[in-house]
Amino acid sequence: MQDVRKRAKSNDKNVSERNIPKNNESNVNNNKIPTTQRNISLRIISRVVVIFSLLIVVYFSSKNDKVKTFAKQSELLPGKGLVVDCSLSYKEEVEKYEGCVPKECKRFITDKVISVREAEELLAIAKKGLQLGGSSGGASILDLHSGALSMGQHFVNIYKREDAKHIFSETDFNIYRVVKEKIKYAVAHHFGVKPNKIYLTHPTFFSEITSKKAVTMHDEYWHPHVDKETYKSFHYTTLLYLGDYNIDFKGGRFVFVDEKFNRTVEPRKARLSMFTSGRENLHYVEKVTSGNRYAMTISFTCDQQYAIQDPSINNI
């Protein structure tokens, strides 16, 4: 019996020893589990980083492929044009007006029509008027013809203000008229129309765009639009830039929206942009991120009933 009890105790001891892991074995197993988990985690993180990096590259490559620079600020352009198909509605309308039908619809950029000195003189005129007003948002305008001036969330007539009675001189208006005539003849020449068949039309104005947050719909200049649909009288749109992109302001490039990719125009002081006002020239302006962007919009119509007179000291 004693031998049996001894063998039983011995067996129980052996079973217990087999079921209880040694300290060294326990440490080894505990170390193996975290290491494996870390390796798996590192592989997952590495793959995520690689995939994310590829997505960024693809996104920006795709984005850049859809935007082409049509006119750089650093370039001095004698003239650069691009012919586009006239929209049907634009073509049908201008064909009603003899001598005002363009040889072809297009956009044309030149740095040779208006001088830098003339642009600086116009900028001084614009600033004199705009300093008396200013939009609550980021876009302000001054119209020398009607006197419209952005003021807060509304417009006022600058010519009705006592502090603006003598702000503009006849010399200012003469400079304006000379530049307008140069632009008018440039439009006639490049689009193949008769200069006496296109008429200055409303609205024609100075604009100042800043990085201020938009307050009213008039501040939201960055939406794509068609000039002919916004302004019924427009047939030819021209823009004269009074400052330099990336020098006087950042952002604010002019963007033509085309089917395959967009084309940008970088403002340059005294740069003139001309284009037919129909749907063939859908466009917008990028948001200005810093500085002040000044330009002048001068528009022309084929319909004489929408013609406006040149501004004059006698009309104030």
**pLDDT computed for residue 34 by the predictor:** 59
Per-residue confidence band for 55, with pLDDT thresholds at 50, 70 and 90: low
**Residues 96, 82, 186, 312, Cα dihedral to 10°:** 80
pLDDT of residue 152: 96
Rg, Å, the chain Cα set: 35
pLDDT band at 133 (very low <50, low <70, confident <90, very high): very high
What pLDDT was estimated at residue 42?
64
Active site residue: 107, 268, 271, 293, which one? 293
Q: Read off the pLDDT of residues 83-110 as tens digits, 9 standing for 90 and up.
A: 999 999 999 999 999 999 999 999 999 9
Non-local (6+) Cβ contacts of 207 within 8 A are 139, 140, 141, 293, 294, 295, 296, 297
* Average pLDDT of the residues in 137-148: 96
Residue 134 pLDDT > 50, yes or no?
yes
pTM of the model: 0.80
Q: Does residue 112 register a pLDDT over 70?
A: yes
Residue 293 bears catalytic tag: yes
| Cβ neighbours of 236 (radius 10 Å) | 26
Distance CA 203, CA 313 (A): 19
